[in-house]
A and B are shown apart, each in its own frame.
Chain A
């Protein structure tokens, strides 16, 4: 059964969809954490698909939009890492209360995976982390956003703007429009200083890291990340699948689903 709802807390309304198994109520629940900006749109139906598959296997699941994202209340420029952590905490509490969940897992894609790691460091009840292509280097991710802005300006307006000009606007105005979403100075600084891998680890978690062949060039970074998790006592599986970059605009147009990654993830969840 799927129940769309608006979750209200502290005068915020977050849109979410609760998936409840029909015949096999389970105490196991999975919270889905979406990625940043337009990447969220592109993986939307993959999340729906995954939640339905897990629900059919007896898991309860909740998908929700962070404040300022998707159908939730608020504007994107109001989103901060703190607001996202707070959203997650409140959704988690509601989920546990409503569904009687006693084993909670977090499933995040891209920046959603990083939020999962960070949150798991604060909530010892999180048992499993399912991480699809977490952002390994926040500064590089921020750099990509800036490059996108430069590229879009050149393509749309034939105006060549420099990184320095963009950073100057970010400094003076507090935010800059990148492909229709305001990147705030606060979030830019967060990305540049993101160190979710060392300071937020939770040694009681089991983790699955799923990446695609499009990330082969940075696999050593993922391997070293997985190693860090293992060193502090986590069980961690790193899986590389033969899938395309499913959060990209082109693959979205093709209505592409990373079937290998989906299958491997489901197998891992069901056998751990």
Chain B
């Protein structure tokens, strides 16, 4: 089997962005999937997830483009903010242009994990050429407890709902019972200030009466989410069962916007999976479930 992966560049908003292109192993140019960075992780993904997944997809007849957003990996630019709406969906749309124009790929889907999932649904809501979206561990409101709450100067609640704050409190309490957790925390150069910031964020969320669906800091994302789901284009929402807050918030949100009408969103839950499907077993299952879902798309090969 010959190695055919290629380092590529494309322009976006005046910046030269980088990606790795995996052509479909059978040479077809029908289906292409763009992988968007998971937060600050470069195109390789957490524990090399994006590389593994892209290589399997390539063997199954899909071309894949793993991109780096500005300031990440090999791309030009700087990272100015580190929250999960920090990356501009226009950059993903530029990657769609690249696949269509330079690689002559006819049908496009997007994939992202966590912050990458937020990005791709926003990109798909503004680019009708995107036919499908695969979102793993899409945060609706809540952030992972290990993720520092952003924009604290502007809003001490960070990115949490009240329920998220309660669960964060439980999670932190549970971890604080283990000496290894403290060792890890302090040995990494962290100090008490980090703990105080988290406690402050939890406190403000606990006393907040804010309606979580009206949170201004999520407005752009909620609009994009609704627009995409209502467009009728298929979407896969895949979560690890350990991401219980995210799953619950997803269910509430999808119910609210679809008003119990039928929609093309599909929810899959991977047993024992955590936020980034760290274990090899859960990663393998998540990939397998996604490929099964994508097969509905590629079954249209004859008509494509």
Residues of chain A having any CB pair with chain B under 8 Å:
2, 4-6, 8, 13, 15, 17, 37-38, 41, 44-45, 48, 69-71, 73, 76, 147, 150-152, 154-157, 177, 179-182, 212-214, 243-245, 248-255
Query: Would you give the shortest CB distance from B5 to chain A, in whole angstroms?
Result: 7
Instruction: Tally A-B pairs: CB < 8 A.
Output: 111
Is B255 in contact with chain A by the CB < 8 A criterion? no
Interface residues contributed by chain B, number (CB under 8 Å): 46
Q: Known contacts A4-B18, A71-B5, A212-B189: does B47 contact A45 (CB below 8 Å)?
A: no
Q: Known contacts A6-B5, A151-B180, A245-B188: does B44 contact A255 (CB below 8 Å)?
A: no
Partner of B7, one of A6, A45, A248, A253: A6
B236-255 residues at the A interface, CB under 8 angstroms = 242
Residues of chain B having any CB pair with chain A under 8 Å:
3, 5, 7, 18, 20, 39-44, 46-49, 51, 71-74, 79, 82, 146-148, 175, 178, 180-181, 184-185, 187-190, 194, 242, 272, 274, 276-281, 283
Residues from chain B with Cβ under 8 Å of A182 in the complex: 280
**Cα distance A122–B295 in the bound complex, in angstroms:** 51
Q: For A69, A152, A155, which residue has the most chain B Cβ atoms within 10 angstroms? A: A155
Residues from chain B with Cβ under 8 Å of A177 in the complex: 279-281
Name the 3 nearest CB pairs between A and B, nearest first.
Answer: A180-B47, A244-B189, A248-B188
Query: Would you give the shortest CB distance from B55 to chain A, in whole angstroms?
Result: 9
Chain B interface helix/strand/loop/mixed:
loop
A44:B73 contact, CB within 8 angstroms: yes
**Cα distance A181–B12 in the bound complex, in angstroms:** 34
Residues from chain A with Cβ under 8 Å of B146 in the complex: 249-250, 253
Residues from chain B with Cβ under 8 Å of A45 in the complex: 42, 71-73, 79
A214:B42 contact, CB within 8 angstroms: no
Q: Known contacts A41-B42, A156-B242: does B187 contact A76 (CB below 8 Å)?
A: no
A179:B51 contact, CB within 8 angstroms: no
Q: Known contacts A250-B146, A253-B82, A255-B79: does B283 contact A44 (CB below 8 Å)?
A: no
**Cα distance A177–B283 in the bound complex, in angstroms:** 12
Residues from chain A with Cβ under 8 Å of B274 in the complex: 156
A253:B147 contact, CB within 8 angstroms: yes
Partner of A13, one of B3, B73, B180: B3
In the assembled complex, 17 residue pairs joining A and B whose CB atoms fall closer than 8 Å, in A order, are A2-B74, A8-B3, A15-B20, A41-B42, A45-B72, A45-B73, A76-B48, A179-B47, A180-B279, A181-B48, A212-B189, A243-B189, A244-B188, A244-B190, A251-B189, A253-B148, A255-B82
Residues from chain B with Cβ under 8 Å of A8 in the complex: 3
Residues from chain B with Cβ under 8 Å of A180 in the complex: 46-49, 276-280, 283
Q: Known contacts A15-B7, A41-B41, A182-B280: does B148 contact A155 (CB below 8 Å)?
A: no
| Chain B residue at smallest Cβ distance from A69 | B48
A151:B279 contact, CB within 8 angstroms: no
**Cα distance A37–B47 in the bound complex, in angstroms:** 7
